[in-house]
Structure 1
């Protein structure tokens, strides 16, 4: 443990002296244990030291001269023009440099943490987006299944005689009555539409849809000349 005291006396010729301690006996020191011994110790100079035993006697060792300023050569300064810097200033400079390093390390750590958090957020967003897309696809699939279930497969018996003639022609009507066979493509076209109250050509999305509404849905207003061809001008069916 370091102790503190003041130089009480120093013999220049013999190179030793005594350090005065508070409420304790003075302790011996030798110039060889004093740093910067080319600068002669002065009476009253504050020092800090360790107490060691040598040849059965106690003496001061590892002496630190608290009042001594250290000459530090800075860049671009000649040896003949040194800049004197106190020990406290050196400590302050070291603390400033250490603080800068600490802040730099902390900044890097914060950047890494923020980057990781952003990556996690991005991953969560992608997962949520994928999940929403799957839910939407499933919802659309359920709607289609529901519509198909509601519509069912249109059987030829469900069509009126006039509807059969308009859809299949007179000759085909007889065949349908006998065999109940229909073209797969026409069946597919019929089964994908549903009467939902629309009545006008402007509400139709295709000619096939207009044909379906005209032949199967009530109160339609899409065949003004009653020739069995709906929305002739809209879909170019002259």
Structure 2
């Protein structure tokens, strides 16, 4: 299927350029060897009609028709003096011309079929790229959700704009161990802001094994099997005299 666009850029030294198509984000590549009347250098803004063809896994413009040059040629034909002599042709010449028209028609049909197939592959390629982008977004959202669950229910007020950017960067870097999380929370009972520290679940379960109240609070909220909150009020190690 033929589409129409305008020459956006052309590099005369390298012999290639790009065509802008209305409604399309990506420009279409073209090479001078596929341009008819290549002795006339393509100009920026020139109208091309072409089909999308695949070449070594990449898409390019093929079967290019130079609409502006074609219109100029038609104008010259229209301006030709009417008094010029008409050439006569024999019946043999007319028969040859008829055969040539048939061959041209067959060639056009083959070109149309190839254009439809090439355009179909181009559409499949675009669809695949869009699906990949959507899957990447979904995977990133899943990783963010898992990290938020591991950190616990944190008030949004303590996540500054910089902190949110850091969380997104950490989520994207999937090579980091998921057992190591940055714990930043506010003690909802006492209204005390805890310092941002790094802890990880390592099997400890009792208050005597904790080095600070913040560490005990992290283990109580994030690690299974802890035995530091006898009255289940969410506050660990209340009878520990160290803090």
TM-score where L is the length of structure 1: 0.29
Larger Rg computed on CA atoms? 1
More helix by share: 1
